[in-house]
Amino acid sequence: MKIRVGLGYDVHQLKKGRPCVLGGVLFDSLLGPDGHSDADVLLHAICDAILGAAGLRDIGFHFPNTDSSFKNAESRDLLKEVMNLVSKEGYRVENIDATLVSEQPKISPKIQAIKDSIAGLCGIEANAVGVKATTSEKLGFIGREEGLEAQAVVLLIKD
């Protein structure tokens, strides 16, 4: 059995008028992450963690923001493709642990929905997905509600 660990990180600015999708779940918010795709910072960090663990470069390599075919792409679809890539390499996700740093929107009320979303996309049980939410205590760009940050750790197994 081969075991691999990957670490992912992402950050996006918040902009008025953008939809706020985090972990594949839509939030009611006046501000949403800005980016080439839907800018789901949490799924992007998870994608990078999975790709990194498998030694398959990063999300920007596979889905470059210079490619118009990924304009406004749903990050759920990007994660599905990442899962296909690692599956071809013989890996499966064993578990995911992620942290989302945000002042707004408040994440805690939707953590179970986020866990269910991620679990479904990765083909694992919801109890194999850890999602934590925190603030930056009003410090920095997150504290000023200018952006969001996510970090993720993933364990891959090849039988």
Q: Give the confidence band of 28 by pLDDT, cuts at 50, 70, 90.
A: very high
Domains of the chain: 2-158 (3.30.1330.50)
Note the pLDDT tens digit of each residue in 51-90: 999 999 999 999 988 888 888 899 999 999 999 999 999 9
Q: What is the pLDDT of residue 67?
A: 84
CA distances from 113 to 66, 73, 105, 120 (A): 32, 21, 15, 11
Q: What is the pLDDT of residue 48?
A: 98
Q: In the chain, pLDDT over 90 holds for what percent of residues?
A: 91
147: tokens are 């952006």
Note the pLDDT tens digit of each residue in 118-141: 999 999 999 999 999 999 999 999
31 near 147, Cβ under 8 Å?
no
